[in-house]
Every structure is written in C-alpha cells, then in structure tokens.
Amino acid sequence: MIPTLIVLGSIVGRWWLVPVVAIAWPVLLITMKIGTGFIFGLETSIIASANTVAGVVLHRAVTRALHRLRNRSAG
C-alpha cells in the first residue's frame, strides 16, 4: 500500500493532496476493516502523509530538472 501513495503523489504533484490523503487513507482502511481505533487512524494518517510528501517531492524534483534541461537547450 505504501507505493500507492508515493505514485499518487508523483502523478498529482500538488501539496493540497497531502491533507486530503491524511484524512481519506485512514478512513478507507477503517471502512475496509483493515484496522480500527484512534491510534491506527493516527498512525496510518502520518504514514500516508509522509509517503505522499515523498511522491510530491519526487514529482517537483523531476519537473524542475526537466524545466532546467529544456531552458538550457533552448537558450
């Protein structure tokens, strides 16, 4: 499940996705009866946020590198 959020963050690449995932991912796991309780929700929220941040940072780094490469070859 961890790669799912990293890939999602990499594809979307927007910071607003982090709080959305922090709420939606624990709700999804709890409704699927994978876990229960406040601590489970808190832990999954933190892990989901961290993985999504990693994906967004990856997206931003690749995008920035491509922009620099394009500007260097055009100029």
In angstroms, the CA 33 to CA 40 distance is: 11
pLDDT digits (tens, 9 = 90+) for 12-57: 999 999 999 999 999 999 999 999 999 999 999 999 999 999 999 9
Those residues with Cβ within 8 angstroms of residue 3's Cβ, 6 or more apart along the chain or in another chain = none
Those residues with Cβ within 8 angstroms of residue 8's Cβ, 6 or more apart along the chain or in another chain = 17, 21, 52, 55
Overall pTM > 0.75: yes
pLDDT band at 74 (very low <50, low <70, confident <90, very high): confident
Alpha carbon 4 to chain centroid distance? Answer: 8
In angstroms, the CA 55 to CA 57 distance is: 5
